[in-house]
Amino acid sequence: MTSMPRRLRILTWHVHGNYLYYLSQVPHEFYVVTREGYPPGYAGVGGSLPWGRNVHELPWERVAATEFDCVLYQHRSHYEHDRNALLTPVQRNLPTLYLEHDPPQEHPTNTLHPVQDPSVLLVHVTPFNALMWDSGVTPTRVIDHGVVVDPAVRYTGTLARGISVVNHLGRRGRRFGADVFAEARRMVALDLVGREAEASGGLGEVPNDQLARFTARYRFFFHPVRYTSLGLAVVEAMMIGMPVVGLATTELSTVIRNGTNGYVDTRTESLVEVMRALIDEPVLAARWGQAAARTARERFGIGRFVSDWQAAFREVAG
């Protein structure tokens, strides 16, 4: 008789809440480091996401006395600081993974990844990220995003406007396309939601558990970001059947097929032309949205995501 795989006890940190929630669909026990006041990087598992019983907050003071099977870092500061300041020598020698959420922020092609250790598995969330980082001696694998959306939420597109979902757009500036969004909004009806969206003329933040239902009313999803990983909000929008318009940069250029499930280009004027067409032609938008949903199910289904992570944990922790 085949035995069930062992449930691992995995120490990690809260870096990107939605990603951590999707990662928690993997059937292991996740222990998330917290600090008093829940500052960034130690935020625990509060908020509106429906966390499962396999996700546990673990105060900083109790980490050293807790047993784990492996450690999953998700941010450079945790790897460079907490690894020595928080973990015991035994914990530092546990099977280790590093989840890299972003492409390099310094030179886009010639940056050596901060993790240089043949015993660590470096996981990139997109093939683009893996291409741009110099991973050096560290073994790597790519695990594409996987998302879960409420099956009751489906795209309607009844609102003849576009929607962008970007946190701190004004603060992040050109890299996240603050200027692109501002230019496009002068020519087409666009709304912005996310943290500090009001500072950029937006509507404010929408809770995670309400975001899909909120965006489903809009005619299309506009992604103005120049240089990032593949935004989870883009994938979530596609999953509910929204067409996507965005810049033909980073991984998005491999996801969107022009005239089929959305449209990408490096010329703002071309994007505006397409957005105007979608506003004028709701039937076209719905057809592209149906294709976007098919793409999302095929490439970003949660079952494939869970299977890929199971294989990564199995490789590292046996």
Residue 206 half-sphere exposure toward CB, CA atoms < 13 A: 18
Band (5; pLDDT cuts 50, 70, 90):
low
Q: What b-and-e string marks burial along 88-126, b requiring 16 or more CB atoms within 10 Å of the CB?
A: eeebeebbbbbbbbbbbeeeeeeeebebeeeebbbbbbb
Whole-number Å distance between alpha carbons of 298 and 306: 14
CATH architecture of 9-146+301-317: 3-Layer(aba) Sandwich (3.40)
Question: Across residues 104-124, what is the average pLDDT?
Answer: 97
Enumerate the domain spans of the chain. Answer: 9-146+301-317, 159-300
- What does the pLDDT look like over 146-182, one tens digit per residue? 999 999 999 999 999 999 999 999 999 999 999 999 9
- Of the two residues 18 and 4, the one the predictor is more confident about is 18
Asked if domains 9-146+301-317 and 159-300 share a fold, the reply is yes
Q: How confident is the model at residue 48 (pLDDT cuts 50, 70, 90)?
A: confident
Q: What is the mean pLDDT of residues 271-288?
A: 98
pLDDT of residue 73: 98
pLDDT confidence of 208, banded at 50, 70, 90?
confident
Question: pTM (2 decimals)?
Answer: 0.94
Q: Does domain 159-300 have CATH number 3.30.70.20?
A: no
Token pair of 96 as six digits: 């280790």
| Residue 210 in this model has a pLDDT that exceeds 70 | yes
Question: Cα dist. 34→54, 70, 232 in Å?
Answer: 16, 18, 24
- Report the mean per-residue pLDDT for the chain: 95
Q: In the structure, what pLDDT confidence band is assigned to residue 1 with cuts at 50, 70 and 90?
A: very low
